[in-house]
């Protein structure tokens, strides 16, 4: 919390606390609670920490509603609308007495927040949580005073606002409301209805700020991931500003760029730049921006590892920021090394680059040796062929380039390493192998030729019009989606029962949607019997032999490229191996391993 408190933010909102002793509002196992006075001392420490760093402290109250009851086996909603996602609990419709009790519990939690020293309170309805369940015509089918037209669906929100203002007096109350639910396919609110809810909230006279948010957890449309370009949702803020009048708007959905935020504020579109995930990626981003060091800001790449872990009841981690969640044992910055070394990093993928800059920050003299003519490794290759927002990944590469330059790391391109390493680099004390992974084209009974999938992406190998991709993990999906996007007829052959087995949970749906929308045929649960000139013979459903006709067969299977371990074993004092060179995995593991090794060298 100390790291976040020192970000330079003018207002800091503490994570949402559920307000009911039953735990119906509890969204995840580690969620904090504020249903009893016994919690006040712990919250007081957080408020004091924010104040010590010059910030205004706001406590959020979060009743998860449809997504709550994690310890109970059920959830509460205004109406008994079945879940569309199977991991949430079965719903139970609330009585009017239960609704009024929950309103009182919100107000009591707000009172405790102020007693703990917080300056104000925020109530959230975003992502399909409790208040959103009342506001939305998807989850609110009631026929009493809490359901029906917009005004009646807003009744619960209005009661919450009035009760909290009575509890906290003239202290500020912020309300998080959807500018868009993105729930059209389920019959959710339109953007116009969302605006009407904002108007009703403002007209109560009890709301001091609107935090504008987008989407529900069940939305099939991305709102904050890499599929959405920065600035895409700005129009929602413009529309909301027309109905909020003098009530300020805080906004930050896919708005990671402080320069863009400055433009919106100057243009009167928003009043506060709201940041969440970008500050997890780089807690110093505001200080760097203010000092004109924008190139040194480590970007949030929109991969949503943070939410993938949160929704599986694990502490936040960040792909870009290896220190997040481990500040105590790792420290906010790498410590100066007691003994300075000459370190050679072989390979300039994300693992190697992260290790290089971290080692340089500790005072080591670092040289990066890259066999290709550009840095970036497979990160650059994937960025070039990403069907989402490419700039998120390219921003990460731009950050690494900037830091290599700032820290004086020497980079040698077209520098293949071989047995003569010691002769070429006699003063090197430690070598880090970050040589990544390579594609294996070695398949049994391969009578036909099998192409290297990465070489296909690089343009070194041309694919025919009918393509079979072996493997439905993330690399196979990248290859298949790119070729299908170019008009090729693509089939994926996967031995597991489902595609995207190694894809981050929050991104699986994206690939499944692309497979469907691009017309890619998937043979899951299939075993390869033979690769022949006509295509691939597979053992498929009911143990039948099926020919998947293809004029090009492409492998996406990755093996660790660690061959230099033997070559360099007696050429250097210290020899380390990180990232995909240990075992092919993902960007998160590569960056984290690079940092941890760099911090120990």
Q: Active-site residue numbers?
A: 129
Cα 109 to Cα 37, 39, 57, 594: the distances in Å are: 9, 10, 15, 43
CA atoms within 13 A of residue 243's CA, in its CB half-sphere: 20
Provide the total of helices (H) and of strands (E) in the chain, helices listed first. Answer: 22, 24
CA atoms within 13 A of residue 382's CA, in its CB half-sphere: 18
* E-only strand ranges, 230-370: 249-251, 272-273, 342-346, 365-369
- Both tokens of 503, joined, read 């894809």
DSSP string over 91-130: EEEPPHHHHHHHHHHHHHHHHHHHHTT-SEEEEE-TBT-H
CA atoms within 13 A of residue 138's CA, in its CB half-sphere: 26
Q: Yes or no: say if 456 and 479 are a contact pair by the CB < 8 Å rule.
A: yes
d(Cα 599, Cα 601) in Å, to the nearest integer? 6
| C-alpha 20, offset from chain centre | 29
Cα 291 to Cα 152, 263, 294, 297, 303: the distances in Å are: 49, 18, 8, 11, 27
Tracing tokens 């290297």 back to the chain, one arrives at 452
d(Cα 326, Cα 215) in Å, to the nearest integer? 30
Q: What are phi and psi of 377, to 5 degrees?
A: 55, -140
d(Cα 259, Cα 271) in Å, to the nearest integer? 14
Sheet holding 535-539, edge to edge: 527-532, 535-539, 545-549
Neighbours of 339 (CB within 10 A): 8
Cα 189 to Cα 51, 216, 397: the distances in Å are: 38, 11, 39
Helix (H) or strand (E) holding 532: strand 527-532
Q: Is 597 exposed, middle or buried (0-12, 13-18, 19+ CB in 10 A)?
A: buried
Return all residues near 139 (Cβ < 8 A) that are at least 6 apart: 66, 77, 78, 79, 81, 128, 132, 133
| C-alpha 391, offset from chain centre | 15
Closest CA to 564 of 552, 556, 572, 554: 572
Residues 308-311: contacts with CB under 8 Å, at least 24 apart: 308/504, 308/505, 308/506, 310/28, 311/28, 311/217, 311/505, 311/506
């Amino acid at each position: 919390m100390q790291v976040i408190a020192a970000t330079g933010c003018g207002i800091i909102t503490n994570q949402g606390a559920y307000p009911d002793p039953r735990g119906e509002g509890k969204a995840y196992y580690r969620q904090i609670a504020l249903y009893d006075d016994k919690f006040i001392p712990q919250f007081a420490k957080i408020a004091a920490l924010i104040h010590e760093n010059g910030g205004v402290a706001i406590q959020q109250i979060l009743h998860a509603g449809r997504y709550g009851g994690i310890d109970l086996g059920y959830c509460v909603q205004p109406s008994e609308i079945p879940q569309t996602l199977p991991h949430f609990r079965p719903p139970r419709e609330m009585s009017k007495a239960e609704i009024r009790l929950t309103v009182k519990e919100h107000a009591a939690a707000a009172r405790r927040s102020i007693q703990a020293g917080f300056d104000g309170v925020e109530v959230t309805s975003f992502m399909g949580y409790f208040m959103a369940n009342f506001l939305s015509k998807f989850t609110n089918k009631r026929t009493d005073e809490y359901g029906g037209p917009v005004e009646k669906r807003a009744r619960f929100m209005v009661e919450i606002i009035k009760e909290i203002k009575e509890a906290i007096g003239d202290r500020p109350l912020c309300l998080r409301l959807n500018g868009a639910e993105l729930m059209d396919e389920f019959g959710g609110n339109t953007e116009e209805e969302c605006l009407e809810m904002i108007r009703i909230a403002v007209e109560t006279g009890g709301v001091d700020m609107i935090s504008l948010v987008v989407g529900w957890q069940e939305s099939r449309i991305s709102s904050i991931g890499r599929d959405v370009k920065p600035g895409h949702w700005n129009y929602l803020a413009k529309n909301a500003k027309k109905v909020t009048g003098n009530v300020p708007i805080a906004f930050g959905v896919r708005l990671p760029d402080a320069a863009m935020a400055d433009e919106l504020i100057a243009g009167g579109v928003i009043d506060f730049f709201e940041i969440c995930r970008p500050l997890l990626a780089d807690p110093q981003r505001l200080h760097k921006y203010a000092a004109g060091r924008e190139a040194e800001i480590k970007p949030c790449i929109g991969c949503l590892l943070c939410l993938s872990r949160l929704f599986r009841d694990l502490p936040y981690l960040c792909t870009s920021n290896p220190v997040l969640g481990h500040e105590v044992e790792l420290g906010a910055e790498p410590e100066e090394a007691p003994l300075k070394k000459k370190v050679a990093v072989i390979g300039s993928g994300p693992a190697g680059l992260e290790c290089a800059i971290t080692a340089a920050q500790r005072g080591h003299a670092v040289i990066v040796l890259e066999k290709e003519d550009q840095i970036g490794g497979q990160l650059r290759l994937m960025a070039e062929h990403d069907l989402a927002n490419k700039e998120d990944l390219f921003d990460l590469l731009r950050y690494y380039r900037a830091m290599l330059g700032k820290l004086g790391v020497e980079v040698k391109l077209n520098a293949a390493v071989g047995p003569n390493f010691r002769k070429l680099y006699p003063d090197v004390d430690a070598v880090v192998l970050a040589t990544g992974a390579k594609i294996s084209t070695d398949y049994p009974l391969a009578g036909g030729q099998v192409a290297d999938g990465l070489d296909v992406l690089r343009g070194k190998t041309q694919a025919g019009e009918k393509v079979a991709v072996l493997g439905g993990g993330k690399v196979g999906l990248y290859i298949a989606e790119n070729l299908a996007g170019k008009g090729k007829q693509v089939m994926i052959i996967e031995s597991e029962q489902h595609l995207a087995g190694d894809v981050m949970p929050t991104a699986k749906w994206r690939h499944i949607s692309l497979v469907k929308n691009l017309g890619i045929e998937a043979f899951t649960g299939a075993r390869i019997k033979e690769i022949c000139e006509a295509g691939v013979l597979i053992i498929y459903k009911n143990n039948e032999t099926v020919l998947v006709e293809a004029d090009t067969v492409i492998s996406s299977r990755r093996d660790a490229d660690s061959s230099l371990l033997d070559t360099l074993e007696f050429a250097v004092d210290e020899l380390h191996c990180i990232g995909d060179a240990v075992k092919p995995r993902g960007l998160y593991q590569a960056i984290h391993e690079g940092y941890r090794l760099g911090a120990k060298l």
